[in-house]
Chains A and B, each alone.
Chain A
Amino acid sequence: MPASPYWNPKTETLPRADLRRLQGVRLREVVERAWHASPFHRRLLEQAGVRPEQVRGMDDLERLPFTTREAWMECQRRTPMFGDMVTRPVERAVRYHTTSGTTGRTPLRVLDGRVDWKWIAECWCYGFHGFGIRPGDRVFFAFSYGTFIGFWGAHYAAEKMGCLVLPGGNMTTENRVALIHEMGATVVCSTPTYALRLAQEGRERGIDLPGGSVRRLILSGEPAGSIPATKRLIEEQWGAKAADTAGMTEIGTIMMFECEKQPGGTHVIEDQVIEEVIDPETGRPVAYGERGERVVTSFGRGMIPLIRYRTRDLVVKVPHTRCTCGRTFDLYDGGILGRVDDMLLVRGTNVYPRAVEAIVREYPAVDEFQIHLTTVEGIRDEIAVRCEVRPGHEAEWAQVRERLAADLAAAIEGLSIPVVEVARGTLPRFELKAKRVKDERVVKGASR
């Protein structure tokens, strides 16, 4: 049999009508199971006046109530430690994980059973295989291996596929680069920000990463993996192709991946999840091509069912025909575009950090940057982009600064955004999700 470009050809190429029918069957099962085993979900369903037998297929999806992070947190607070969402005794769990807590909130705590945990790895296999990773690849994980879910599922996916796993936990950046080089890693998994940091370290240590063994980068954890300028920069600095993936602790795995055709978007793994896109204000579905909030229903996680979960991620869904790979899974154009609550309001103008990054990364002279917000004269919001200049680009910096400021103003409704140089090593570097917004305004509540 010829090698398949698909991990699971049977469902990855299903006609859309059949795919929808399969989703309907699975939706019915998930609701039935949640009704009987999860008091949290039963309460929500009862409040919405829905019984499992009323869910016959995808046409009934919108009858189901949304689940929110706030409700999940509340149920954990009322029923410590895991809430009454959990369908089985804690003794049946084999994994404990939490959200990263990078937003300063109390992290969500999640449990997975044996079947769940293998499913989490399975979803990563769709992405790895879809981007050309095969048995025999040497996959390095630039990841801390703590309770944050991160690349845990990817690690087990690589094992399952027959790759050589190179675990990079508890290592300095210098040691990670050395291991990648020494072991001839062919694939590196990291956040986009950290991929750039590793490349920088390689340059400083005289290690030729672009001329080395790495042929693929799997990016996750930040929207930047789908920002063309950032991806281009990463690919140049590694001499390898980079693909975006996106997941979340709440489902434990990725729900989208970029295939080898790289059509500018990520395929949704639609046989394993339902992904809806809604207007975050009204909760109503939006059409293909319109920006909205992702809402996910997971078919695979049994210990903690997830039904119509409001993710706060912003996306634009486009039909599968946008890609020529043959999958019938729809795509998110440009991956995750940001968060519903990411938007900064500066003197009446909406500023999206991702839009700023998309412009800044067009300039190779910028090594690292930060969006800095302050209050001037006790009342006026000011915004600036602080930049560290990449070594070797100092001579051109004055020109770059002017052009970059002009590009930012042109893209963001004429808002004046000064570009300010800061000394090398001033700005923080990140291993996990980067936080490039430093908001020191006196009053932020009304504008965030």
Chain B
Amino acid sequence: MSPAPSPRTDLLGRPLSEVEQRLVASYEGLKALLEQDLPPAAAANVREALASMWQVMNDLALLSDRPDV
């Protein structure tokens, strides 16, 4: 499955900068990766990475989302 289309504005309705768009794409990419059948070493580290990337989404108010990792 391909990642969901990324939003073009943040939670305050402001357009995302280019860097912010790339951050959102990275986050969505990690989420999509977790839908794959990954070996334990990959799954655990992708979960860790996703939990870290969520902090970026949250701090920069980019997305309303809460991954279940």
Contact = CB atoms under 8 A, between A and B. Distances in A.
Interface in A100-128: 113-115, 117-119, 122
B38 interface: no
A426 interface: no
A43 B39 CA distance: 41
B62 to A, nearest CB: 10
Interface in A21-50: 21-22, 25-26, 29, 33
Contact of A11 (B51, B55, B61, B64): B61
B4 interface: no
B51 A114 contact: yes
A118 B59 contact: no
Contacts, number: 48
B58 A22 contact: no
Nearest to B64: A29
A18 B59 contact: no
B52 interface: yes
A25 B67 CA distance: 18
Interface in A259-314: 271-272, 299-300, 302
A92 interface: yes
A31 to B, nearest CB: 13
B42 interface: no
Given A18-B12, A21-B12, A118-B52, A8 B68 contact: no
6 contacts: A11-B61, A22-B61, A92-B68, A117-B51, A119-B58, A271-B61
Interface of B: 11-12, 47-48, 51-52, 54-55, 58-61, 64, 66-69
Given A114-B47, A271-B61, 13 more contacts: A10-B59, A11-B60, A11-B61, A22-B11, A22-B61, A33-B66, A115-B51, A115-B66, A115-B69, A118-B51, A122-B58, A122-B59, A300-B58
